[in-house]
């Protein structure tokens, strides 16, 4: 019998909301990582300003979505990782680190942008409030955190995706569960 499609998570499967958040945010983050790398090699001027704006809008969206995801997981907890022994602990630690980076990266980008003294816009339209004082030291520090944390994220996402493929190939249905909800 075909299992009914569920919005909520269960002890054995991911619901529709968690899966949409996972893949939607994964896509957004991959775009942001490559866009960010381009930006760091550019000079901000009138012709490239819109790319900075796009990066900030998508980055702030990730921040909003990760908060939503954390609230959703309080309401309906995700299933335990599909592994045994130390691998469960490794998966949990890895997921925790991914969450921390999904918070630290947009917050440091926002703080660094605030510290420049230039208004941060969401969708070229709404000014978001500054979260750091205008200061060159704060700007440099926050951008340094942004750069280091994004490198950590690249490394961790690579390991995360490889682990997912490896467990899928071992026949555990790890990827299937994140794609279809259940195994």
Quote the CA–CA distance of 103 and 163 in Å, as a whole number: 23
Which of 1/157 has CB closer to ligand HEM?
Answer: 157
Burial profile 57-88: b = 16 or more Cβ within 10 angstroms, e = fewer: bbbbbbbebbeebeebeeeeebeebbbeeeee
# binding residues, ligand HEM (CB under 6 A): 43
Asked if 29 interacts with ligand HEM (CB under 6 A), we say yes
140 binding ligand HEM? (CB under 6 A): no
Round to whole Å and give the CA distance between 95 and 36: 23
CB of 37 to ligand HEM, least distance (A): 5
* 33 near ligand HEM, judged by CB under 6 A: yes
Nearest approach, Cβ of residue 109 and ligand HEM (Å): 3
Find the helix or strand (DSSP H, E) in which 4 lies.
Answer: none
Q: Candidates 15, 17, 32, 181: give the one binding ligand HEM (CB under 6 A).
A: 32
Q: How is residue 44 annotated by DSSP?
A: -
161 lies in the site for ligand HEM, by CB under 6 A: yes
CA distance 141 to 14: 38
Q: Are 120 and 128 in contact (CB under 8 A)?
A: yes
Helix (H) or strand (E) holding 13: none
User: Can residue 120 be called a binding residue for ligand HEM (CB under 6 A)?
Assistant: yes
User: Is position 59 an interface residue for ligand HEM (rule: CB under 6 A)?
Assistant: yes
> Which residues lie near ligand HEM (CB under 6 A)?
18, 22, 26, 29-30, 32-33, 36-37, 39-40, 52, 55-56, 59-60, 62, 78, 81-82, 91, 95, 98-99, 102, 105-106, 109-110, 113, 120, 143, 146-147, 150, 157, 160-161, 164, 174-175, 177-178
């Amino acid at each position: 019998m075909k299992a009914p499609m569920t919005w909520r998570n269960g002890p054995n499967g991911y619901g529709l909301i968690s899966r949409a958040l996972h893949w939607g945010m994964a896509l957004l983050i991959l775009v942001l990582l490559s866009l960010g790398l381009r930006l760091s090699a550019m000079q901000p001027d009138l012709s490239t300003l819109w790319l900075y704006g796009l990066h900030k809008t998508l980055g702030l969206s990730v921040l909003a979505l990760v908060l939503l995801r954390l609230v959703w997981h309080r309401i309906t907890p995700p299933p335990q990782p599909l592994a045994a022994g130390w691998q469960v602990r490794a998966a949990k630690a890895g997921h925790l680190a991914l969450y921390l980076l999904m918070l630290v990266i947009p917050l440091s980008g926002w703080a660094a942008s605030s510290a420049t003294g230039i208004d941060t816009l969401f969708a070229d339209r709404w000014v978001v409030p500054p979260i750091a004082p205008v200061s060159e030291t704060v700007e440099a520090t926050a951008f340094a955190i942004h750069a280091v944390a994004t490198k950590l994220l690249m490394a961790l996402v690579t390991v995360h995706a490889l682990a997912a493929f490896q467990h899928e190939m071992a026949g555990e249905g790890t990827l299937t569960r994140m794609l279809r909800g259940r195994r």
